[in-house]
Amino acid sequence: MFKFSNAMKPAFALAMVPLLFATHATAADNYSGVGRAATPAEIKAWDIDVRPDFKGLPKGSGSVEQGQVVWEAKCASCHGTFGENNTVFTPLIGGTTKDDIKTGNVANLKRNDYPGRTTIMKVSSLSTLWDYIHRAMPWNAPKTLSDDEVYAVLAYLLNLAEIVPDDFTLSDSNIKDVQKLMPNRNGMVRKHAMWPGKSGLVTATPPDTKNTACMTNCKPAAKVSSTLPDYAQTSHGELAPQFRPFGQTRGQGAAGAAAAKPAHNPDYALAEKSGCLACHGINQKIVGPGFNEVADKYKGQDATGKLVAKVKNGGSGVWGSMPMPPQTDLKDSDAQALVKWILSGAPTQ
């Protein structure tokens, strides 16, 4: 049996270290010794969300009258005296009726001819308003209101919307009762389309997709079957330079705009035509590895045959768990050409 001599051990250990890091390192390992655990006080300052069941809501109270003082000093300049201003942001108040308070559905949302959608028309849970005002308003000085001021200013908004009377005091103990008066409390639906159909109303149009999580025998991978039409690709100018070159959303060139396209390398054009560029960037990972990474990985090896087979048959595990779908429609000669082109650094010109 092969045994390490003492002299060999350190050399072996050193050689192993980079390998282990390369294959098994997690983010935490890479940054060990950097940072410290958050203190309970830090977590408390950050953990301020109030949920629809009011979990997380701090104790406190505020009256409509106190709320008017807060509103006029800190909110009315942007949102208008009655929450009606449409310049800094869409109106907060308006468009709801006593009947909506009874039914929990805002009738004006179902009309095509009603101008605009105010906050109170749309919002279904009072916790959202409490949470949002508490964390984000006033816009120019977020998180400066005391809890009681948030209760008060919210009571005032509810009074402007004729949900609570002038002498009302909103508190953590009665907020659940007020929730039962929210005009659009029953108006949140999931079964509707992203875009309105002929009716002009999203709620009247059935959902675009029915998405059920697949747990067994799932289809191997998504196939890009449609892209933005040309006019939409270019309607905001050349998108790619308007995005950061990293992160989830990187933008793309005006792919559909044939006009300003420079002459491309024929293999680049073949890759584009074969749909490879939907998943592979030339210089960056998209769904699959960037072609530059593939070229680097197999530098100095004769990997052509293996990679042609991989492209044709698909597979996963070399670059991560995301599978590459088999490219069944691709001609053998095209697969050969593409792999050679990729291994030569995927030149675009």
Q: Which residues bind to ligand HEC, rule: CB under 6 A? A: 74-75, 77-79, 88-89, 92, 119, 129, 132-133, 137-140, 145, 153, 221, 274-276, 278-280, 287-289, 294, 307, 310-311, 315-320, 322, 324-325, 327, 330, 338-339, 342
A 10 A CB-CB count for 337 gives 17
CB of 93 or CB of 239, closer to ligand HEC: 93
CB of 295 to ligand HEC, least distance (A): 9
Question: Rounded CA gap, 288 and 304, in Å?
Answer: 18
Question: At its nearest, how many Å lie between ligand HEC and the CB of residue 2?
Answer: 31
- For the record, the structure tokens of 181 come out as 């008066």
What residues contact 227, with CB distance under 8 A and at least 6 apart?
Answer: 233, 255, 256
Question: Which residue lies nearer to ligand HEC by CB, 72 or 177?
Answer: 72
**Rounded to an integer, what distance in angstroms lies between the CA atom of residue 274 and that of residue 264?**
15
Would you say 118 or 234 has its CB closer to ligand HEC? 118
What's the distance, CA 29 to chain centroid? 27
User: Least separation, in Å, of the C-beta of 235 and ligand HEC?
Assistant: 23
- Six-digit token string for 117: 């959608």
Q: Which two tokens stand for residue 85?
A: 């201003």
Of 259, 270, 337, the C-alpha closest to 304 is 337
Min separation Cβ 328 and ligand HEC, Å: 10
Instruction: State in angstroms the smallest separation of the CB of 187 from ligand HEC.
Output: 14
For ligand HEC, the closer of residues 54 and 132 by Cβ is 132
Is-contact 269 276, C-beta < 8 A?
no
Report how far residue 164's alpha carbon sits from residue 157's, in angstroms, rounded to the nearest whole number.
9
Least CB distance from residue 321 to ligand HEC, whole Å? Answer: 8
Smaller CB distance to ligand HEC: residue 6 or 140? 140
Q: Using the minimum distance from each CB to ligand HEC, give the nearer residue, 4 or 139.
A: 139
Looking at the Cβ atoms of 109 and 339, the one nearer to ligand HEC is 339
Positive/negative CA dihedral, 63, 64, 70, 75: positive
Are residues 207 and 191 in contact, defined by beta-carbon separation less than 8 angstroms?
A: yes
Q: How many Cβ atoms are within 10 Å of 320's Cβ, its own excluded?
A: 11
Q: Look up residue 87 and give its two tokens.
A: 């310049």
Q: Which residue is nearest to ligand HEC (CB)?
A: 288
277 Cβ neighbours under 8 A, 6+ residues apart: 271
Q: Nearest approach, Cβ of 1 to ligand HEC (angstroms)?
A: 35
State both tokens at 83: 């929450």
Min dist. Cβ of residue 9 to ligand HEC (A): 34
How far is the C-alpha of 135 from the C-alpha of 60, rounded, in Å? 16
Which residue lies nearer to ligand HEC by CB, 281 or 289? 289
